[in-house]
């Protein structure tokens, strides 16, 4: 971060996006440091979190909620299946559909991931009040929604 950064300085659109990119890098670094004691690679924690939240998902749907390409989601889930974190399950209603779901070991690790994000979040947001955290969360979701709407045009 620049030494002459001032919270009162005007911020144009480029300044905001640059700050977002640096915040994203810092957040990823904080999470990666917390994940160092686990068997997970960066990115796999998001798969665990999404599956814990959504339950069983077909790979294509998982790729969509993770905002990655299907081959990327396929490779990631194959590695995680080999590690015993997820399993493939056939749909009860459509034999052609195969879902990915957490194993018991995956569920336990997903809860560990939640703790990792809690610790990393406490470190990263230590200087923000609860109201500041609420505002920034809402602003970030608003930016995400706007960008996603623009990419779907």
**41-97 pLDDT, tens per residue?**
878 999 999 999 999 999 999 999 998 999 999 999 999 999 999 999 987 887 788
d(CA 110, CA 129): 27
Per-residue pLDDT, 61:
93
For residue 90, what are its two tokens?
A: 């056939």
| Global model pTM greater than 0.85 | no
Computed over every residue of the chain, the mean pLDDT equals 87
Share of residues in the chain with pLDDT > 70 (%): 94
127-143: average pLDDT: 92
């Amino acid at each position: 971060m620049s030494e002459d950064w001032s919270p009162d300085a005007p911020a144009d659109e480029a300044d905001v996006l640059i700050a977002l990119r640096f915040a994203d890098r810092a957040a990823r670094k904080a999470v990666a440091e917390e994940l160092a004691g686990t068997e997970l690679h960066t990115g796999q924690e998001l798969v665990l979190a999404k599956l814990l939240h959504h339950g069983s998902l077909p790979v294509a749907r998982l790729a969509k909620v993770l905002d990655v390409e299907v081959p990327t989601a396929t490779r990631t889930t194959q590695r995680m299946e080999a590690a015993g974190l997820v399993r493939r399950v056939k749909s009860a209603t459509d034999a052609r559909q195969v879902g990915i779901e957490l194993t018991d070991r995956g569920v336990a690790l997903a809860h560990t991931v939640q703790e990792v994000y809690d610790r990393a979040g406490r470190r990263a947001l230590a200087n923000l009040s609860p109201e500041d955290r609420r505002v920034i969360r809402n602003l970030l979701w608003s930016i995400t929604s706007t960008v996603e709407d623009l990419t779907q045009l």
